[in-house]
Amino acid sequence: MSARDPGGTLETTELFEGEHIVERGSAEVTWFFRKNDGWEHVSQWPGAAVERLDAGAGTVWQSRVALTVPRGTRLMRVESRPAPLQRAGAFEHLSRAPRNPPRRVRRNYFRVGRGGALEPDRDA
């Protein structure tokens, strides 16, 4: 099996998820694996070991997810954080809900390589 064809050699990898306090709110990191034409949370992988870690200063929660997956498995890391502050007009300032500031979401795609190393997925 090639690195682009999941189903071959099994590799073990660890992924870290969590929510951390940042300026203007919190940043969240979550991981997903490719399943058919969609994405599922890594905790749904058969045999996934999810361990809740101690939350230190500035951390709301943190988990380690250990997966044993075929080499070449596609993963997506999603990071959501408060968007940069934008100047708003007086009406926008008064009409926008202050509890829900706009967020910026960034997605990065990886494949599981030798030894469980995450390699950027250039096909994504």
Per-residue pLDDT of 48-95, as tens digits, reads 999 999 988 999 999 999 999 999 999 999 999 998 876 666 666 666
- What is residue 98's predicted lDDT score, i.e. its pLDDT? 59
CA distances from 8 to 5, 33, 67, 69, 113 (A): 7, 16, 15, 9, 11
Say how many domains are in the chain: 1
- What is residue 123's predicted lDDT score, i.e. its pLDDT? 81
Asked if the model's pLDDT at residue 97 lies above 80, the reply is no
Cβ count within 10 A of residue 60? 12
* 3-state SS class at 116: helix
Virtual torsion, Cα 38, 110, 56, 20, nearest 10 deg: -60
In a domain, 71, yes or no: yes
In a domain, 5, yes or no: no
Q: Which residue bears the tokens 């997506």?
A: 76
Task: Print the domain residue range for 85.
Answer: 10-120
Asked if the model's pLDDT at residue 122 lies above 50, the reply is yes
| Mean pLDDT of the region 40-45 | 97
In a domain, 4, yes or no: no
In angstroms and rounded to an integer, the radius of gyration of the C-alpha atoms of the chain is 18
The β-bridge partners of 113 are none
In a domain, 2, yes or no: no
Q: Where are the alpha helices (H) located in the chain, listed in sequence order?
A: 90-95
- What is residue 29's predicted lDDT score, i.e. its pLDDT? 97
